[in-house]
Amino acid sequence: MNSLYLASGSPRRRELLTQIGVPFTVVSAAIDETPLTNESAVAYVERLARGKALAGFAALDHPLGACVLGADTAVIVDGQILGKPVDQADALAMLMALSGREHEVLTAIALTDGQRCETQCVSSRVRFCGITVEQATAYWHSGEPQDKAGGYAIQGLGSVFVAGLNGSYSAVVGLPVCETAQLLDQFGIPCWQNLTVR
Ligand SMILES: Cc1cn([C@H]2C[C@H](O)[C@@H](COP(=O)(O)OP(=O)(O)OP(=O)(O)O)O2)c(=O)[nH]c1=O
């Protein structure tokens, strides 16, 4: 059976992959996350997920029989791709742009075994309640927005802003569990492998 590597520094992705019971090893895969001119949001997250998976694969000492998983999450509002905020002003601008309305969260996953690289993109819609500048400022000082696309975490304190979700909760957190399990299965890594029948 192929062995799985996760090309990610994200603790959320590690937790979500652990949740489905597949053994894996983390590899680092830092890539340039700058969007290309006129690149669509879907093309952007898919390119980054693929880039992370391929960079992770290239970094392996023993690539034979290895599969590498990469993922990327972005928040989209008014056609703009929101990544992680660079500072407080950036985070506040993002949170105010998301306040009182719906936005899209795109997460792409990519899996490669060195021969082929398959990607899939999952779209979810999240509706925020109204947020005051004071709330956004207090939220920034909680430390949570810093390393999150769109400047919030649905799995944390940011949940107080979430009035509705249409789509995949795990995809918003950073790794669509259902689609990931299906992709792993295609590459000969079933997520049921460690379950014992009682
Ligand atoms: C919208 C949202 C994003 N996020 C996180 C998921 C991702 O970790 C991060 C988006 O940045 P990414 O660039 O997708 O990932 P990353 O840099 O954290 O990790 P990697 O090494 O795999 O590239 O935002 C949440 O944790 N909760 C949320 O509700």
Reply yes or no on whether 87 is catalytic: no
Ligand 1 binding residues, C-beta < 6 A: 8-10, 12-13, 33, 52, 71-73, 75, 84, 105, 147-150, 152-155, 172-174
The catalytically annotated residue of 32, 61, 72, 87 is: 72
Nearest to 83 by CA among 109, 50, 106: 106
Whole-number Å distance between alpha carbons of 13 and 19: 10
Span from the CA of 8 to the centroid of ligand 1 (angstroms): 9
Q: Among the listed ranges 41-45, 129-133, 145-149, 194-198, which one has the minimum average pLDDT value?
A: 194-198
CA–CA distance, 31 with 37 (Å, rounded to integer): 17
> According to the model, what pLDDT value does residue 153 have?
98
What is the per-residue pLDDT for 194? 63
| pLDDT reading at 196 higher than 80 | no
Residues 88-110 have a mean pLDDT of 98
Cα 66 to ligand 1 centre (Å): 24
Does 85 have pLDDT greater than 60? yes
Of 3, 19, 6, the C-alpha closest to 70 is: 6
In the reported structure, the alpha carbon of residue 36 is separated from the centroid of ligand 1 by a whole-number distance in angstroms of 19
Reported as a pLDDT band with limits 50, 70 and 90, residue 29 is: confident
- ipTM topping 0.95: yes
**What's residue 76's pLDDT?**
98
